[in-house]
Amino acid sequence: MPAIDGDKLRGHLEMLILATLEKDEAHGLEILRRLEAGGCGLLKLKEGSLYPALYRLEAAGEVEAVWEKDNHGRRGARRRIYRLSSKGGRRLKQARGDFQQFVSVVGGILGAPV
């Protein structure tokens, strides 16, 4: 099965991030790991492009971020921990409904199993 890369992901990345954060808060690398695990290795994302999406979500108030208090023995810069806000939860719920409708309509036209 071909990988799902940047072009196909465009427009969906923010929803995927919100869905990932619904389970638990996480920093950027952990979000990527969850996306990879959830996509069974078929999601091929340039890792840096996660952060502009996170910053857009933060500006929209859909995620909140705090700097981690402890480096946990790592060297180098601190990480920010992101969590889903209530506004983000509402958007995710709406996006799920919209996507199900999209899949149902387009899948019906394509004749793909829904």
Partner 1 sequence: MNRELLHCREKIARMVQPLAASSGRKRAMQEELQAHLLAIFEEESAHYSSEKTAMQAAMSRFGNADELSKQLQASVPFLERVIYSCFGQKENGMSRFWITALVVAMIVWGLIIREHAEFMFGALCMLGAVGFCHLLQRDNALSRAIRPRWQELAGFFVALLGSGMILPGLAHYKQTLDPFTLLPSALGTALVLSGLTIAIYNWRKNRARLA
Q: Is 24 left (phi over 0), alpha (psi -120 to 50) or beta?
A: beta
Write down the least CB distance from residue 113 to partner 1, Å. Answer: 34
SS3 47: helix
Residue ranges in 61-100 that form contacts with partner 1 under rule CB under 8 A: 61, 74-80, 85-87
> Is 56 an interacting residue with respect to partner 1 (CB under 8 A)?
yes
Residue ranges in 10-29 that form contacts with partner 1 under rule CB under 8 A: 27-29
Give the one residue of 23, 24, 38, 52 binding partner 1; rule: CB under 8 A: 52
User: Going by C-beta distance under 8 Å and a sequence separation of 6 or more, which residues neighbour residue 101?
Assistant: none
Give the one residue of 2, 11, 41, 48 binding partner 1; rule: CB under 8 A: 48
Amino acid letter, 36:
E
Site size for partner 1, by CB under 8 A?
Answer: 24
SS3 85: coil
Q: How far apart are CA 6 and CA 9, in angstroms?
A: 5
Q: Interface with partner 1 by CB under 8 A: which residues?
A: 27-29, 46-49, 51-53, 55-56, 59, 61, 74-80, 85-87
